[in-house]
Amino acid sequence: MTAVKTKILKMLKEANGYLSGQDICDELNVSRTAVWKVIKQLQEEGYQIEAVRNKGYWLEKSADVITKAELSSCMDSRWMGKNLVYYDETDSTNTRAKVLADQGAASGTLVVADCQMSGKGRRGRSWVSPRFTDIYMTLILRPQIPPSCASMLTLTAAMAVAQGIKEVTGIETGIKWPNDIVCNGKKVCGILTEMSAELDCIHYVVVGIGINVNSAEIAEEIKETATSLRIAFGGPVGRSALIAAVMRAFEVYYQKFLDREDLSLLMDEYNGKLVNCGKEVKVLAPSGDYTGVSKGINKSGELLVELEDGTVRAVVSGEVSVRGIYGYV
């Protein structure tokens, strides 16, 4: 039934005006009763569908709902996100993805939730994950690369998110090294990459992506450093369309990464989006903090920081944080 629902939803979206029930029956080889049941389900999920005798069905407005059928009807990537696992509510999409990966889920499997109860950020921080508002998703990848190269996937994902946001909203976002997406100087997306590997091979990598999409207001404790696409865009943003756009972009960037097993084909574009490139930054390192001027990344994804004496240090992402001298950026 899910496959039929996806197809009917796609037909409704593509229809120019009313879509007759008989046309749906003929196209999908299903009964009128089956069509009516799917329409009722879609209406209950929040879609505004008008049904008129002798005319058919008309999707008045595509509501911002996330369901498996909605996501599948939007997904037009070649393979990323095609194997879709959806939860109305879960603990964490990264946690679910790791369980699925351990069970043999294919590379490109995408786990999406409308609500997370135990979302995770870097350094064990929690990620607030309310229902009906934002994007919480995790992609399972099985790259045939050395484990030492896996951290570059985080930067690759950041580029995909920035490109997806631009396609859907027209907003030009930046990247705060290594993987925060920044809009108007504030964070709009975080990315958390986790890996299962041995010394010489990767079993899988899960790339968790959380995007602040439709929050009209930001919590008081983080509003100085965080924002949402709705605030920047001036109106609601379709989450399913954005997820699909990120998957399309990720496919392209991921292949370029695999071609070289580094960021040499992506480095120039990444540095063009890097909000702290050419700016004075503070590096918070376990061995001691220091300041310098960001010179962009190298092909390994390390941030090059020029110190006052002219020497350049390559900063590796992980437990190191880089901040602007006067604030988040």
pLDDT interval class at 313 (50, 70, 90): very high
Task: Tell me the C-alpha to C-alpha distance, in Å, between residue 224 and each of 32, 55, 64, 218, 221.
Answer: 54, 52, 27, 9, 8
Residue ranges of alpha helices (H) inside the chain are 2-14, 21-28, 32-44, 68-74, 93-102, 152-169, 229-233, 239-260, 267-273
- pLDDT tops 70 at residue 290: yes
Q: Which of 129-133, 187-191, 232-236, 291-295 has the lowest mean pLDDT?
A: 129-133
Identify the three-state secondary structure at position 137.
strand
**CA proximity to 50, closest of 63, 59, 40:** 59
Contact 117, 94 (CB under 8 A): no
DSSP 300-319: TSPEEEE-TTS-EEEEPSSS
Does the pLDDT value for residue 327 go beyond 70?
no
Say which residues have a Cβ less than 8 Å from residue 329's Cβ, sequence separation at least 6: 176, 182, 185, 275, 276, 279
Mean pLDDT over 290-296 rounds to 94
Lowest-pLDDT choice from 86-100, 152-166, 246-260, 279-293: 279-293
162 contact partners, CB below 8 Å, separation of at least 6: 173, 174, 175, 181, 273
Q: Residue 120: pLDDT band by 50, 70, 90 thresholds? A: low
**Residue 60 token pair:** 């008045």
Kindly tell me the burial class for residue 1, based on how many C-beta atoms sit within 10 Å of its own C-beta (0-12, 13-18, 19 or more): exposed
Q: For residue 237, what pLDDT is reported?
A: 92
Residue 19: pLDDT above 80? yes
The more confidently predicted of residues 288 and 157 is: 157
In this structure, the number of other CB atoms found within 10 A of the CB of residue 252 comes to 17
Q: What is the reported pLDDT for 325?
A: 65
Q: What is the pTM of this model?
A: 0.84
pLDDT in tens, 37-91: 999 988 888 788 888 888 999 987 656 778 888 899 899 999 999 999 999 899 9
Bridge partners of 127, per DSSP, are 119
The residue that leads in pLDDT, 320 or 89, is: 89
> Which residue ranges form the domains of the chain, and what is each CATH number?
2-61 (1.10.10.10), 68-272 (3.30.930.10), 276-324 (2.30.30.100)
Please give the average per-residue pLDDT across 3-20, as a whole number. 89
For 211-249, what is each residue's pLDDT tens digit?
Answer: 999 988 888 888 899 999 999 999 889 999 999 999 999
